[in-house]
Amino acid sequence: MPLVIELTEYASSTNVIRLLQEELQRIISTLASKDDEIQNFIETLNHTLKNVQVNTAKVLLDLDEEFGALQTTLDEIKDRMTSKIKQEQACKSQELQNQLTICTNALESSEELLEYANRTLSIEDTETFTKAAKQIKDRVTMAPAFRLSLKRKISDNMTHLMVDFSQEKQMLRSMKFLPVPRAPEIDPADCLVTDNCVTIMWNMPEGDKKIDHYILEYRKTNYEGHPRVKEERNWDIIDNIKTTEYTLSGLKFESKYMNFRVRACNKAVAGDYSEPITLETKGFNFNFDATTSHQNLKVEDFSVEWDSSGGKGQENKVKGKENKGRGQVSLVKRNMRSGTPSPKRTSLSCRPGSGRSNRDRFSGESYTVLGDAMIESGQHYWEVKSQKDCKSYSIGVSYKNLGKFDQLGKTITSWCIHINNWLQASFAAKHNNKAKAMDMQVPDKIGIYCDYDGGQISFYNADTKQLLHTFKTKFTQPIIPAFMVWCGGLSLYTGLQVPSIIKSFQKGDHELSGSANSLIALAH
């Protein structure tokens, strides 16, 4: 009996300790999260303090430059006015000098004639006096002094001295700092993320009307919530936006979120940034997994090519890929902590019991390579483009247990479309070793849509979004993107959202199920 009591007490004590450990673990997680938030805020404050110092120096320098420019303008105006005054002075001086010379010459002539007349009065001989008097009379008639105007041609007033700067002085005394535009406001509810495009819309506070343009900044991140000061990526800048909205198009969503902020600018200065926002940019990301490929395939992250040499020189890349696969565990854990679901990354070469270090996942004529992410739920989309000289290739999905010698579409656990350009051209949908020929032109790029929960795999012309074929089934295991290629190559495009037009097609399929049945040729 005492032994039973002791065991009961031990079990009770063990439960208490376990509960305390769980509670302590929650406290530690909360404290760690709070510490991270405080650390980020401290970095924000330090960054802001540094910017205050830098911006103060810049503003003072700008102020010196503005007043220097103003002084330069005043000096230029003064130089122009001084030049005009000196030109007027020279012109008037020349005119007055000419008039002074004429008057001086007339005065000298008149004085000479006056002296001659005085001498003539003392002549006693009548004939001589008469002759001299007549000469004096003729000379007086022609004398310059009697034809000379004694009115000044030029005034001594300077016309260019009529300058009044009193109004300008008053304006300068009342001059104040040009108002800095206030920060715009971005409402995440007004923003749109679709078709790998992001449309950002913002508003200006009342009173800020003299806005010349806006500057939008954005960056990709894997952190949800308020943007961090320190990020691996720098802000990308879009300048000279004239409206209060902007659309970024053709993006690849290889990260889970994007940060955005915007600032307004008038003719002189840029205002504060808006409060940054974080938008979710969920896309389906995966690469070709070199560790799963056939020996005759040369595999990069987003391309695969036929390699008749047997893939020599690939081993270093494969080993690196395997190491990368091992590192996916910590990434998945981080995703679980953040509460954000993501496709499950995997390296199929590391299956229990495989015991291999080289590429022997596929062999024989199964020239296959798989993606490095499994799909267990949700809707996903990716695209594939073939080289023009590619002889034969298949693209689709399969369960991860695809056999070493299996070919896509020839098993009950794989679905694909197959293109053959060798000898006799063919374009067909394949599943469970059954094929349905498709009477249409092969697109340059093919889009693959996967609705795991709805049990649907659809293939589209990636450019026109024309539906090529749809498989309907019920998935009982995770599926993985799968590819086969012979004599040529494929390019992979991931980080894509499900196009909105395809989403609308799916809604239409539910509403018009009878019409949709005609598109489903092979079902499992």
What integer pLDDT is reported at residue 85 of this predicted model?
86
Q: Which residue shows structure tokens 């086969």?
A: 484
Q: Are residues 367 and 492 in the same domain?
A: yes
* Pairwise CA distance, residues 426 & 439, whole Å: 9
Per-residue pLDDT tens over the stretch 270-294 = 888 999 999 999 899 999 999 999 9
Of 42-46, 110-114, 314-318, 368-372, minimum mean pLDDT range: 314-318
Residue 337 has a pLDDT of 35
**Bridge partner residues of 304 (DSSP):** 299, 490
Average pLDDT estimate for 299-328: 65
In a domain, 5, yes or no: no
Host domain of residue 296: 288-523
* Amino acid of residue 374: M
Residues 361, 493 within the same domain: yes
Q: How far apart are CA 106 and CA 113, in angstroms?
A: 11
Query: Are residues 239 and 363 both part of a single domain?
Result: no
Residue 510 inside a domain? The answer is: yes
Domain end among 255, 280, 305: 280
Domain termination residue (choose one: 280, 298, 317): 280
Give pLDDT, residue 311.
54
Hey, how many other C-beta atoms are within 10 angstroms of the C-beta on 193?
A: 19
315 and 419 both lie in a single domain: yes
Ordered strands of the 489-493 beta sheet: 297-299, 303-306, 489-493, 379-386, 445-451, 456-461, 467-472, 520-523
Give the whole-angstrom CA distance, residue 415 versus residue 399. 9
User: Cα–Cα distance between 364 and 386 in angstroms, integer?
Assistant: 22
Are 36 and 153 found together in one domain?
yes
Within a domain: residue 9? no
Q: Which residue has the higher pLDDT, 147 or 361?
A: 361
Q: What pLDDT does residue 326 have?
A: 46
Contact (Cβ atoms closer than 8 angstroms) between residue 394 and residue 484: yes
- State what percent of residues in the chain have pLDDT above 90: 44
Calculate the average pLDDT of the chain.
83
User: Could you tell me whether strands 379-386 and 414-420 are parallel, antiparallel, or unpaired per DSSP bridges?
Assistant: unpaired
Confidence grade of residue 340 (pLDDT, cut at 50, 70, 90)? very low
What mean pLDDT comes out for the span 179-183? 87
Question: Per the structure block, which two tokens stand in for 131?
Answer: 């002759």
Q: What integer pLDDT is reported at residue 54 of this predicted model?
A: 87
Q: What's the pLDDT at 81? A: 86
Least confident of 114-128, 167-181, 185-199: 167-181
Whether residues 23 and 162 share a domain: the answer is: yes
Which has the closest alpha carbon to 449: 431, 428, 464, 470?
470
Q: Decide which of 173, 199, 226 is a domain's last residue.
A: 173
Note whether 44 and 163 are same-domain residues: yes
Q: What is the pLDDT of residue 343?
A: 54
The structure tokens listed for 403 are: 């056999």
Give dist(CA 345, CA 460) in Å, integer: 25
The mean per-residue pLDDT over the stretch 339-349 comes to: 46
State how many domains the chain has.
3
240 and 325 together in one domain: no
- Using the predicted structure, report yes or no on whether residue 354 has a pLDDT greater than 50: no
Contacts of 384 (CB under 8 A, 6+ apart): 395, 445, 446, 448, 483, 490, 491, 492, 493
What pLDDT is stored for residue 11 in this prediction? Answer: 64
Q: Look at residue 259 and tell me if it is in a domain.
A: yes
Residue 504 half-sphere exposure toward CB, CA atoms < 13 A:
7
Same domain, 445 and 517: yes
pLDDT given at position 484 = 96
pLDDT in tens, 61-94: 888 888 898 899 889 988 988 888 888 889 989 9
Find out whether 450 and 379 touch, Cβ atoms under 8 Å. Answer: yes
Neighbouring-strand partners of residue 262: 216
Same domain, yes or no: 262 and 140? no
| Distance of alpha carbon 437 from alpha carbon 429, whole angstroms | 7
Q: Tokens 């479309």 sit at which residue?
A: 417
Question: How far is 428 from 435, CA to CA, in rounded Å?
Answer: 6
